[in-house]
């Protein structure tokens, strides 16, 4: 059993100040009982400190809580040299083919697993286009739905072979956006037909994955509210795209969203998101987010348990051979 109940917070929390847990952080997490945690570069120092941190986080909630990280390769990777491998960005990696993608994420997943990290916020299934904002462009696997679907599946399979759960993102598709949702609300004016044929297609094809992340974009063809806070968009994700796994928000602190942090969290849960992701908030801010998000209920509790049931030990592999193969394919410097 996962040990989670209806009293477990519908939150993934990341407001950890550094590479070591403070007494105040320990006490807060013990009381808040979030479903999981997410780590950032500020939390990553040496392997010894990182494994101590992941073990300490689990100790605060008294269970094998999932620990997430953004480790895509390229610009978005929290664990870096000299202790870990600097992997290629998805768009650069894509040029080396499907096998190279699987190999990178198998090896990347092995490094995460060794540190006690069992969830990676990848693969990104957004489709790159001529106007895609630079913050997202090289994080995409390609410029068409077929390529993104095929390489996204290879990345997800590589992670799961390493015993790491993937989180596909950013539903229902961020690739058309011209602004950075960390700072502004992107608006997509495409028709629902065009979105169905392109943006939604990779997510529909990988809808069997256990977890996914929303994005803070406005689809004018569906609703005026950002996707994360839009009941019609969440219903579209569930019914038209067909994803019935655990759906978490993108970072609730991003400025594409309006309102206070508790208002954002409550709106996301009301819209149908299962989990609120808080990445950079202080303890008082996280306390308010936890209160607004509530506990896991009904379908969200079922999905949270189902997602964790996908966890397994890494497959047997000769990692040196896999690394040599990736290097021979040109996917590793």
What phi and psi values does residue 219 have, to the nearest 5 degrees?
-95, 105
Amino acid 209: pLDDT: 98
Residue 294, phi-psi category: left (phi > 0), alpha (psi -120 to 50), beta (remainder): left
Domains, the chain, ordered by start: 9-98+111-311 (3.20.20.300)
Contact 10, 300 (CB under 8 A): yes
Q: Within 10 Å of residue 114's Cβ, how many Cβ atoms?
A: 15
Distance CA 275, CA 246 (A): 8
Amino acid 253: pLDDT: 95
Please list the active-site residues: 182, 250
Residue 307 three-state SS: helix
Amino acid 304: pLDDT: 97
Give the sign of the dihedral formed by CA 16, CA 17, CA 20, CA 25. Answer: negative
Amino acid 1: pLDDT: 40
Terminal CA-CA length for the chain:
41
Amino acid 178: pLDDT: 79
| Axis-axis angle for helices 261-271, 283-293 (nearest 10) | 30
Tens-binned pLDDT, residue by residue, of the chain (333 aa) = 468 888 999 999 999 999 999 999 999 999 999 999 999 999 999 999 999 999 999 999 999 999 999 999 999 999 999 999 999 999 999 999 999 999 999 999 999 999 999 999 999 999 998 888 888 889 999 999 999 999 999 999 999 999 999 999 999 998 888 777 787 888 999 999 999 999 999 999 999 999 999 999 999 999 999 999 999 999 999 999 999 999 999 999 998 899 999 999 999 999 999 999 999 999 999 999 999 999 998 999 999 999 999 999 999 999 999 999 999 999 986
Amino acid 185: pLDDT: 87
Contact 311, 19 (CB under 8 A): no
Six token digits for residue 78: 């929290």
pTM: 0.95
Residue 120 three-state SS: strand
């Amino acid at each position: 059993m996962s040990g989670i109940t209806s009293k477990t917070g519908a939150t993934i929390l990341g407001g950890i100040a550094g590479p070591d847990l403070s007494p105040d952080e320990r006490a807060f997490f013990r009381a808040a009982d979030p479903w999981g945690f997410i780590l950032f570069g500020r939390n990553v120092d040496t392997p010894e400190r990182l494994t101590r941190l992941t073990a300490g986080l689990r100790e605060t909630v008294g269970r094998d809580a999932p620990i997430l990280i953004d480790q895509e390769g390229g610009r978005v990777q929290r664990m870096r040299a000299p202790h870990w491998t600097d992997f290629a960005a998805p768009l650069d990696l894509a040029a080396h083919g499907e096998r190279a993608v699987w190999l990178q994420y198998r090896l990347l997943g092995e490094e995460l697993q060794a540190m006690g990290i069992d969830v990676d916020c990848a693969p990104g299934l957004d489709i790159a286009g001529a106007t895609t904002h630079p913050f997202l462009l090289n994080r995409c696997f390609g410029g068409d739905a077929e390529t993104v679907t095929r390489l996204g599946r290879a990345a997800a399979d590589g992670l799961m072979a390493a015993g790491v759960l993937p989180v596909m993102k950013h539903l229902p598709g961020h690739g058309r956006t011209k602004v950075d949702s960390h700072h502004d609300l992107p608006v997509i004016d495409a028709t629902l037909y065009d979105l169905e044929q392109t943006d939604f297609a990779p997510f529909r094809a990988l809808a069997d994955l256990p977890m996914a992340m929303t994005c803070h974009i406005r689809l004018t063809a569906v609703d005026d509210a950002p996707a994360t806070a839009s009941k019609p968009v969440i219903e579209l994700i569930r019914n038209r795209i067909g994803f019935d796994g655990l759906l978490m928000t993108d970072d609730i602190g991003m400025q594409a969203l309006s309102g206070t942090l508790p208002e954002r969290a409550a709106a996301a849960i009301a819209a149908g998101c299962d989990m609120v992701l808080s990445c950079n908030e202080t303890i008082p801010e996280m306390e308010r987010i936890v209160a607004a998000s509530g506990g896991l209920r009904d379908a969200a509790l079922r999905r949270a348990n189902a997602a964790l049931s996908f966890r397994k030990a890494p497959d047997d592999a000769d990692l040196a051979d896999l690394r040599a193969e990736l290097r021979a394919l040109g996917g590793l410097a």
